[in-house]
Amino acid sequence: MSDTTLAVQKPMTPMDLMQLAIDKEGSIDVIERLATLQIQFSDREDKIAFRDAMTKFKDNMPTVIKERIVKNKQGEEMYKVTALEDVATPVMKALVKLGVTYRWKTADLSDGRIRCTCILGLQGTAYEEEGATLAAPPDVEGGKSPLKAVGSTVSYLEKYTLVASVGMHVYGADPEAVPVEGLTQGEGAELCAAMDAAATSVAVMAEWSKGIAVAKKFTPIDYRAMTILTDKRDERLKELRKAK
């Protein structure tokens, strides 16, 4: 018996069907529907490719260790930190190999804070996914000028939104160290619940101030908690205004 080779036919894509409709002089309505279907098909394929790339990234994630020493006025070491480039450079190199890019979108909020969102995309396509968002006030510590205060905060937010978006950890003195400390989930929930229970705007602001004071005690300041607390404050104030 002779061997029979079976040809595997490739499934037709919406683009193939659209070309077939054009060749057979199909109606404009059919062609438009197939064009919409092709866009949806391409978006789905790009999404799958993006998720596959991010899975590969997490399997070979670069290690970032805090090595920059921060000293007090007496020249004594207080703690170690990482700069934006310490994180962005290794992450960029690892992502580019997999065809993934990132960028940031910033905005000035009405309460004076700066909001930063990290956006990840698939190289060569229009596909993007919004990652982590954080907001914080300008960093005026150390007598910075207004411009430098904004630049310092933007760099801080870009660093930590990138870290959160790709699922990385920034380690301390060694890879087994504990990441940056901050409010626990339970503590944050209690502070938000206190604002929800507040019956007046003054009471809401008082509870919010308590939470902000706690977040500022951490080194570095827990800006993520400050963002969550401020969003909860605005939400509760809006509810109280509607109830009047």
pLDDT digits (tens, 9 = 90+) for 213-225: 988 888 777 877 8
Residues 139 and 149: beta-carbon distance below 8 Å:
yes
DSSP annotation of 10 reads: P
Query: Any idea which of 64-73, 92-101, 156-165 has the lowest mean pLDDT?
Result: 64-73
Query: Looking at residue 124, what is its pLDDT?
Result: 87
Distance of CA 57 to the CA centre of its chain: 16
Residues 172 and 66: beta-carbon distance below 8 Å:
yes
Distance of CA 80 to the CA centre of its chain: 23
Contacts of 115 (CB under 8 A, 6+ apart): 106, 107, 108, 109, 133, 134, 135, 157
pLDDT in tens, 164-175: 899 887 765 444
pLDDT tops 70 at residue 209:
yes
Query: Looking at residue 203, what is its pLDDT?
Result: 93
pLDDT bracket for residue 207 (50, 70, 90): very high
3-class SS of residue 195: helix
∠ Cα 216 137 112 (to 5°):
135
**Helices first, then strands: H and E counts in the chain:** 7, 7
Mean pLDDT of the 91-115 span: 93
Strand partners, 116: 106, 134
Residues 136 and 223: beta-carbon distance below 8 Å:
yes
The CA R_g of the chain, rounded to the nearest whole Å, is 25
Residues 187 and 181: beta-carbon distance below 8 Å:
no
Q: What is the mean pLDDT of the chain?
A: 80
3-class SS of residue 188: helix
Instruction: Report the DSSP pairing between strands 64-65 and 114-122.
Output: unpaired
Mean pLDDT of the 47-69 span: 86
**Sequence-distant contacts of 178-185: CB under 8 A, at least 24 apart:** 180/218, 180/220, 181/218, 181/222, 182/215, 182/218, 182/222, 182/224, 182/225, 183/214, 183/215, 183/218, 183/222, 183/225
The dihedral formed by the CA atoms of 30, 33, 37 and 38, expressed in degrees to the nearest 10:
70
Output the CA–CA distances (angstroms, integers) from residue 60 to 46, 47, 118, 178, in the order listed: 21, 20, 21, 20
pTM exceeding the 0.85 threshold for the entire prediction: no
Query: Looking at residue 175, what is its pLDDT?
Result: 46
End-to-end C-alpha distance for the chain, whole angstroms: 88
* % of the chain at pLDDT higher than 90: 30
